[in-house]
Amino acid sequence: MSHTALTADQASARLHELTVIDVRTPGEYATGHLPDAHNIPLDHLDIALPTLREAAGRGDLLVVCASGARSAEACRRLTEEGIEAATLTGGTSTWTQLGHDVHRPAGTRAPWAMERQVRLAAGSLVLTGLLAGRLRPKARWISAGVAGGLVFSALTDTCGMARVLARLPHNRPRAADLDATLAALRG
């Protein structure tokens, strides 16, 4: 299976034979993930390459994220490294909309989903720029910059603000968590 895509129904039918890699942040992962999914955030993919190569040698990999954009990027990177993987069309959003099972760690209070964090940050920056612009007109450039970033994000289907927010402590995996994930994949 090279860089292909599986629908939620196709993936559900094959879930017992797939190794699922969730490339969302740990906070997003905690909001609900596919059964038995392993969390390796996209920005830690390079660290996990040797382990993912081993796992792909034992069976097919399915890479998932919230919408399918980050998992498609991860699949491209894996393909460049000679690792075959498929992406989940529509991501976990479509998976849950279709009523497929999701797992949530018991007793864990999950941070907001990345999309919600981006909306809060972007809205706060725009509002700050507009309010500060009443006293210092040049501060309105903050709002213009965020607006430009949102347009660029929509046109390129990327999100620089999400990449920045993913680096916040509540969105980062603890080293022990990532080590445990990699150990589970090896076994």
Query: Is the pTM here over 0.85, yes or no?
Result: no
Lowest mean pLDDT among 72-76, 82-86, 110-114, 144-148: 110-114
* Higher local confidence (pLDDT), 179 or 74: 74
Average confidence score pLDDT of the chain: 89
Smallest CA-to-CA distance from 128 within 146, 103, 101, 153 is with 146
Please tell me the distance from the alpha carbon of residue 15 to that of residue 138, in angstroms, as a whole number: 54
Tell me 31's DSSP state: T
**Residue 173 structure tokens:** 């995996």
Query: With 50 as the cut, is the pLDDT of residue 146 above it?
Result: yes
How much is the pLDDT for 31?
83
Please tell me the distance from the alpha carbon of residue 187 to that of residue 55, in angstroms, as a whole number: 9
**Residue 182 structure tokens:** 């990699």
Smallest CA-to-CA distance from 60 within 70, 68, 52 is with 52
Q: What integer is the mean pLDDT of 15-34?
A: 91
- The boundaries of every CATH 3.40.250.10 domain in the chain are 4-110+173-186
How much is the pLDDT for 80?
96
Tell me 135's DSSP state: T
How much is the pLDDT for 1?
46
Name the superfamily (CATH) of residues 4-110+173-186: Rhodanese-like domain (3.40.250.10)
Query: With 90 as the cut, is the pLDDT of residue 138 above it?
Result: yes
